[in-house]
Structure 1
Amino acid sequence: MRHLTQQFIDNQWIDSHGQRRLAVTDPYRQEQIAELTAGHAADVDAAVAAARRAQPGWQALGGARRADYLDAFAKGLTARRGELMRTSAGNNGKALAETEIDLDDAIACYRYYATQARALEARQGRVVEHDMAGVQAQVFEDPAGVVGLITPWNFPLVTSAWKIAPALAAGCTVVFKPSEVTPLPEHALAEIAESIGLPAGVLNLVHGDGEGIGAPLTAHKGIDKISFTGSNLVGEKVMRAAADGVRGVSLELGGKSPILVLDDADIESAADWVAAGIYFNSGQICSATSRLIVHEAVADALLDALARRIDAIRLGDPLDEHTDMGPMTSARQRQAVERYLTIAGEEGLSAVRDARHRDLPAQGEFIAPTLYRDVPTDSRLWREEIFGPVLCARTVTSDAEAIELANDSDFGLAATVISADVERAKRVGRALRAGSIWYNSEQVVMPQASWGGFGISGIGRELGPWGLSGYLEVKHLIGPAG
């Protein structure tokens, strides 16, 4: 069993000031695989001080040299590929195919922001076009400073890459808190930073929970910006903490994403995309398309096709290459989803496939894939994020009705539209209130395209040039021309 008793601060492994111990578990084998020393506010103080000392030098290094370190991160992750996939499967419960996606997307993200760092250096000081004679204006983009980054447990490697890579590319220095539920994959990031010779204090990793690390990090006056991915409940607390001192904040929060299947859709393809959108990673994905809005003309055929796919999903050991769906990441998350299954029973929902009526593996924190039909719009399962493999379906009679129903949500992270008519799918997608909208596709995520949502799904955007700009401050120098 591993013992994570130290924090990575200023390129040194330092004993934590905390005293509490947290168990890290394997959700399939339901056994403890590591012990984590929960960090303390004093650890945050030390990490912030180290980052503050390192920031001027890291900024002065320039984008091209910072890019070399980002490429080195990508190479470091690639070199540890097999190890990290197995670690993620054991700590997170992901099937191996899902750990591979998490890792590959993280590698691509570091490589992309290496190119962005070089481009940033090339455009510094560019002259702004204007119509005032005798005046010159130049624009510079400076790093926000010292940033605090907090990531969730569902996609440990890629969600950390989405924050660390653009922050470092921009010239920021980092205090990084991974989830205490899945600290093992991200622990490797500090080891890679050490191995590639990243300058001291540029990346500091502090292990712990919300009480020991999260709260003091978000409240710390030495932090210039906080970037948080996680629940709405915690996101609101982060935003309140950042208001003290008017510090920057970006939030990637929850979702209750719709998937619209129009009356001309190919049923078999639609069923594949619907299943992938909700049952991937056991439904533990913020963009999970958990609201199925289907035209009544094709509803019965689609639900039958989905039922066949649900029955074919193989639940089991994440390390078994034949497994399609692993367990929930923790007992706590399994219990949270089970509460919604109880609510479904209390509300009298009609199940096409009910998790409670399927045999489960003998061990593991499993929730079987579930599908309800004709779910009322006032049902808690229709309106609230469940974060599990639970799909709710409703029928409509027109595109206009489908759009109205899709937009009837406080969330606005993502959506999918399926139609044989590509232009129709695009037209419907353009009318939806969401940050990422796929049509006739699985949920393709690329580092070049933005990620973030409308409404209570968050503030700001990650990925693409927008992700980099979130860690930059714009500065103009204006004076006589010549």
Structure 2
Amino acid sequence: MANIDIFPDVERFLSESKSLFIAGEWVKPIAGGSFTVENPANRQVIATVSSAEKEDVDRAVQAARYALEGVWGRVQPSERTRLMLRLADLVEEDAHHLGQIISLENGKPYTNAYSGEVVITANILRYFAGWPSKIEGSTIPISPRSGAQMLNYTVKEPVGVCAMIVPWNFPLSMCAWKLGPALATGCTAVLKPAEQTPLSSLRLAELIQRAGFPGGVVNVVTGFGEGAGAPLAAHPDVDKIAFTGSTAVGRLIAQAAVGNMKKVSLELGGKSPNIILPDADIIRAAKGAADGIFYNQGQVCTAASRLYVHDSVLEQTLDELRKHASAHVIGPGLDPSTTMGPLVSSDQYEIVRGYISKAIDEGAELICGGKTPDYLSDGYFMEPTVFLDKQEKACIAREEIFGPVVTVMSWSDIDELVYRANNTPFGLAAGVWTNNLQQAHRIAAQLKAGSVWVNCWNVVDPASPFGGYKQSGWGREMGKNVIDAYTETKSVFIDLS
């Protein structure tokens, strides 16, 4: 396989030992710790990164507080907009470099890294750059019991210092999901990327520095959960924490926030149902189902991992899924022919392998996939995998896998179908494929999910809220809804009598 040549600037970036970004400067961790980042396509070390500990987190939070109460707190809305637009421009200018960095550390195909992360990151920053001048309070016609003439108005103020812990599956765009509203509202941030994929966040920090943001507005501390993530989540001078990741870690984040009653937003796991009705365009629906589970190697919180297919179109759908699975070209992310890269790490690879083995033991029928191609044994590759488990008795029908594994179930009664689709502790996303508009609206209204897609999958836009029901999270990201998550509302009463 012929890989894309790595840009000289990317080679330079990878070769340099990576420091922490605190108060606008690149600094070494106090304890001097470091760790290596590997390319999951071949298990080779590609960079060495500083490992932050509690003392470094303290420095970063202090820098964020100082900026919040100092220069950043005095910056006008129009200047916040200018800086954010400048950052978006720099992300676009650096797009090909960022795409390679993401592909190397995460494994996803370069084209997906470029179009699915870098371009989207710039769009998110531009969307939120429009918000600083539109965050408004209101005047309220109150009726005091005293009969006094009163003026009551509200103002929106930044919530404060925000801790941001982002995942490895979308290492750049998830930064933008959180930094966008934080910067727009006038907050400051301490960003902790996943230890598997810290490089794109550090590259973004270089661009933040070039854009001219004051020191301390955005700080980046790389490291592990125990050394950096846990101290950040529990820090008494952090006002809000925004986390994207597993439900298990989300519970720990929520517990850590209790100490000083931090504001918390959590975007967690999912086990999303995707429903095909008998009247649907099966060719289109099967392609949507395949894209919904195989994109990003299935490492997507909204992965369409539960596919409910009507009995009458089950065999046709399975045939189409086999075609889409076999059409994927599995390989390194920098190979131009690759359409599916490796899983992100050895740990994730073993988790997916374990689920596949357990599903077979529990009686699920393996339709295709389920193994690593022999010619790719050096990396963490897994074939697109389809199981049939008509009555969803195997664990793969209930538990989040985070890999390219879909479980197909059959159905005949629509009321029972809706019950089965909702019978999960998660509620992040759901999909319906049908040409019957009445059925589409009826089922969408009954599904307990934060996003419902009809005849499409995984449509996300900066202007539209994103988040989950039940154990899929707290709050919403994106859109105008997220502005409330990064602001406090102050009510002011003035006696005019």
Using the size of structure 1 for normalisation, the TM-score is: 0.96
> 1:103 deviation in Å?
1.1
- C-alpha distance in 1, partners of 2:226/2:31? 11
8 A Cα contact 2:373 2:381, kept in partner: no
Equivalent of 2:60, from 41, 44, 47?
47
Per the alignment, residue 324 of structure 1 pairs with 339
- C-alpha distance in 1, partners of 2:372/2:319? 17
Residue identity over aligned pairs, in percent, reads 37
* Counterparts of residues 393-412 of structure 1 (less than 5 Å): 393-412=408-427
- C-alpha distance in 1, partners of 2:74/2:419? 51
- C-alpha distance in 1, partners of 2:350/2:483? 37
State the one-letter code of the partner of 2:408. Answer: A
- C-alpha distance in 2, partners of 1:479/1:380? 60
Equivalent of 2:36, from 23, 26, 35?
23
Per the alignment, residue 72 of structure 1 pairs with 86
Per the alignment, residue 325 of structure 2 pairs with 310
> 1:356 deviation in Å?
2.5
> 1:20 deviation in Å?
3.4
Equivalent of 1:81, from 95, 105, 108?
95
Per the alignment, residue 62 of structure 1 pairs with 76
- C-alpha distance in 2, partners of 1:235/1:303? 35
The answer to whether 1:117 aligns with 2:132 is yes
> 1:330 deviation in Å?
1.1
8 A Cα contact 1:5 1:16, kept in partner: no
* Counterparts of residues 81-480 of structure 1 (less than 5 Å): 81-99=95-113, 100-120=115-135, 123-124=136-137, 126-130=138-142, 134-356=149-371, 361-480=376-495
- C-alpha distance in 2, partners of 1:436/1:426? 13
8 A Cα contact 1:59 1:143, kept in partner: no
Cα deviations by residue, 1:411-456 (Å, 9 ceiling, x for unpaired)? 0000111001233212211210000111001311100011110111
- C-alpha distance in 1, partners of 2:491/2:481? 19
State the one-letter code of the partner of 2:21. Answer: F
Cα deviations by residue, 1:52-106 (Å, 9 ceiling, x for unpaired)? 1110232331322211111111111001011011111111101122112111111
Give the secondary-structure state (helix, strand or coil) at the position aligned to 1:461.
coil
Aligned length: 479
Per the alignment, residue 27 of structure 2 pairs with 14
- C-alpha distance in 2, partners of 1:98/1:75? 20
- C-alpha distance in 2, partners of 1:129/1:73? 41
- C-alpha distance in 1, partners of 2:390/2:29? 49
Cα deviations by residue, 1:222-278 (Å, 9 ceiling, x for unpaired)? 101111111112111111110112111111110000100011011100011000110
> 1:360 deviation in Å?
5.2
> 1:7 deviation in Å?
0.9
> 1:191 deviation in Å?
0.5
Per the alignment, residue 3 of structure 2 pairs with none
- C-alpha distance in 2, partners of 1:152/1:145? 22
- C-alpha distance in 1, partners of 2:420/2:77? 46
State the one-letter code of the partner of 1:97. Answer: T
- C-alpha distance in 2, partners of 1:277/1:128? 46
- When residues 360 and 308 of structure 1 are mapped into structure 2, their CA distance, relative to the original with a 3 A threshold, is farther
Unaligned regions of 5+ residues in structure 2, if any? 1-13
Using the size of structure 2 for normalisation, the TM-score is: 0.93
> 1:467 deviation in Å?
1.5
Which has the higher mean CA deviation after the structures are superposed, 132-141 or 368-377?
A: 132-141
State the one-letter code of the partner of 1:127. Answer: T
- C-alpha distance in 2, partners of 1:336/1:265? 34
> 1:321 deviation in Å?
2.3
- C-alpha distance in 2, partners of 1:38/1:7? 8
Unaligned regions of 5+ residues in structure 1, if any? none
Cα deviations by residue, 1:4-61 (Å, 9 ceiling, x for unpaired)? 4421111111111234332200111220001122111111111111111110232331
Give the secondary-structure state (helix, strand or coil) at the position aligned to 2:476.
coil
After TM superposition, the runs of 4+ consecutive aligned structure 1 residues lying more than 4 A away are 129-133, 357-360
- When residues 48 and 422 of structure 1 are mapped into structure 2, their CA distance, relative to the original with a 3 A threshold, is same
8 A Cα contact 1:360 1:368, kept in partner: no
> 1:308 deviation in Å?
1.1
State the one-letter code of the partner of 1:271. Answer: A
- C-alpha distance in 2, partners of 1:375/1:185? 41
State the one-letter code of the partner of 2:178. Answer: K
> 1:361 deviation in Å?
2.9
> 1:200 deviation in Å?
1.3
8 A Cα contact 1:3 1:36, kept in partner: no
- C-alpha distance in 1, partners of 2:374/2:285? 27
8 A Cα contact 2:391 2:410, kept in partner: no
State the one-letter code of the partner of 2:54. Answer: A
Name the Cα RMSD after superposition. Answer: 1.6
8 A Cα contact 2:275 2:309, kept in partner: yes
- C-alpha distance in 1, partners of 2:120/2:143? 44
8 A Cα contact 2:41 2:380, kept in partner: yes
- C-alpha distance in 1, partners of 2:415/2:31? 56
Give the secondary-structure state (helix, strand or coil) at the position aligned to 1:355.
coil
- C-alpha distance in 2, partners of 1:377/1:128? 53
Cα deviations by residue, 1:128-152 (Å, 9 ceiling, x for unpaired)? 2456673322111111111100000
- C-alpha distance in 2, partners of 1:363/1:357? 10
Give the secondary-structure state (helix, strand or coil) at the position aligned to 2:312.
coil
> 1:283 deviation in Å?
0.1
Per the alignment, residue 4 of structure 2 pairs with none
